[in-house]
């Protein structure tokens, strides 16, 4: 079953930032439907149950930013 997550990401300021974060999150197996909003500093995505917060944090870090929080948006 897929879960939907909202990520709070520190340091993004432009569309290039969003593209970098999107590219790295797409490399996480089980992550899909990724929508990044650089102005709000957020990302919304669907993941399968195997995806961990550590994997998401590593992907965001690889893009050059910091993951500050992860919340479930579907309960």
All domains of the chain in start order, with CATH: 3-72 (3.30.70.100)
List the one residue out of 46, 39, 43, 33 whose CA is nearest residue 4.
46
Q: Output the tens digit of pLDDT for each of the chain's 75 residues.
A: 589 999 999 999 999 999 999 999 999 999 999 999 999 999 999 999 999 999 999 999 999 999 999 999 875
For the full predicted model, state whether its pTM sits above 0.75.
Answer: yes
């Amino acid at each position: 079953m897929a879960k939907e997550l909202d990520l709070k990401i520190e340091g993004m300021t432009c569309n290039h930032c969003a593209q970098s974060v999107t590219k790295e999150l797409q490399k996480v197996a089980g992550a899909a439907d990724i929508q990044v909003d650089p102005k709000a500093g957020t990302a919304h995505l669907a993941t399968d149950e195997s995806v961990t917060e550590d994997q998401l944090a590593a992907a965001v870090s690889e893009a050059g930013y910091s993951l500050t929080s992860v919340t479930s948006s579907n309960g």
